Amino acid sequence: MKVHFLGTAAAEGFPNPFCLCEACQKARYLGGRNIRSRTSVLFDDVLKVDFPPDFYYHAIYHNIDLTLVKDLLFTHTHYDHFNPGDLFNRIEGFAHGIEHPLHIYGNDLVMQGLHKTLPASQENRRFAYHRVLPFKEVETQTVKITPLLADHDPMETCLLYYIERNGKRILYGNDTGWFPEDTWNWLKGRKIDLAILDCTGGFHANKRSRNHMCIETILEVQQAFQQEDILEDNGQIIVTHFSHNSGLLHEDFVKAFQPYGIQVAYDGMIVTL
């Protein structure tokens, strides 16, 4: 399976164009992997998770054929993940030569946002909507998914996804702090080939941070995976969704995680499972 990291920043982007903090200034000066757009991942060119404000740039810069995407999963409606206005570009009259509806999966707020933004005439023509519930498995056109509960925004049922495709199992784990107990209980006894985790924070000395994970929380998750035998023998952990507020640049994250065999995502990174 091809896992293509199109964007790897938290909400503000890295650097935040409005910010003069040291991390943003250094990122601007050094460039390369320090320049991060908002988080998004594409699987096998057909399944996309989240649709950030940088989607247009991702499609052009990474030469992505978005007409191949059949399923779109939303984790939650924060503005760095949910930018439904740009889906307007897929309606009849704007986009030509495509016949299939894009199947979209998300919580009730996602469904409401899509209905408010996109014309009703396009339902089942260019878009098909599927509200999902925590821990209720769904077969999409491309994968089997089980939405899991995140610990993120108390005003929304934010979701993570356990994704199964061609014998591989992926945990799509952002945005979230230390997983809620129900999610841990669901994961026990299951296997993961790749866990993509939220590393918005830097060093916080908090092993179970709320809302987002930090380096210490990621390491605690890795230990819990080992204790519960959740990660496959050749299983990988990749961290993403980085914030300038961490004060850390790409190489700093690499140094922090390398001893533990955890990979640090960057914009454009492709991993094959």
Choice between 230 and 239, CB closer to Zn ion: 239
Answer for which of 90, 103, 244, 250 binds Zn ion (CB under 5 A) is 244
Taking contact as CB under 5 A, which single stretch among the options 9-17, 26-34, 57-65, 187-195 is the one that binds Zn ion? 9-17
The minimum distance between CB 158 and Zn ion, in angstroms, equals: 7
**3-state secondary structure labels for all residues of the chain:** CEEEEEECECCCCECCCCCCCHHHHHHHHHCHHHCECECEEEECCCEEECECCCHHHHHHHCCCCHHHCCEEECCCCCCCCECHHHHHHHCECCECCCCCCEEEEECHHHHHHHHHHCCHHHECCCEEEEECCCCCCEECCCCEEEEEECCCCCCCCCEEEEEEECCEEEEEECCCCCCCHHHHHHHCCCCEEEEEEECCCCCCCCCCCCCCCCHHHHHHHHHHHHHCCCEEEEEEEEEECECHHHCCCHHHHHHHHHHHCCEECCCCCEEEC
Choice between 23 and 64, CB closer to Zn ion: 23
Answer for which of 3, 6, 24, 160 binds Zn ion (CB under 5 A) is 24
Footprint of Zn ion on 104-143 (CB under 5 A)? none
The minimum distance between CB 166 and Zn ion, in angstroms, equals: 28
| x-or-dash string of contact with Zn ion, 29-68, rule CB under 5 A | ----------------------------------------
Choice between 142 and 246, CB closer to Zn ion: 246
The verdict on 21 binding Zn ion (CB under 5 A) reads yes
Tell which residue, 171, 227, 234, 239, has the closest CA to residue 200.
Answer: 239
The minimum distance between CB 27 and Zn ion, in angstroms, equals: 8
Choice between 24 and 118, CB closer to Zn ion: 24
177 Cβ neighbours under 8 A, 6+ residues apart: 150, 151, 152, 198, 208, 209, 210, 211, 212, 213, 217
Choice between 175 and 216, CB closer to Zn ion: 175
Size of the site for Zn ion (CB under 5 A): 8
Footprint of Zn ion on 170-189 (CB under 5 A)? 175
Choice between 24 and 230, CB closer to Zn ion: 24
Footprint of Zn ion on 79-108 (CB under 5 A)? 80
Choice between 24 and 148, CB closer to Zn ion: 24
Residues that bind Zn ion (CB under 5 A): 16, 19, 21, 24, 78, 80, 175, 244
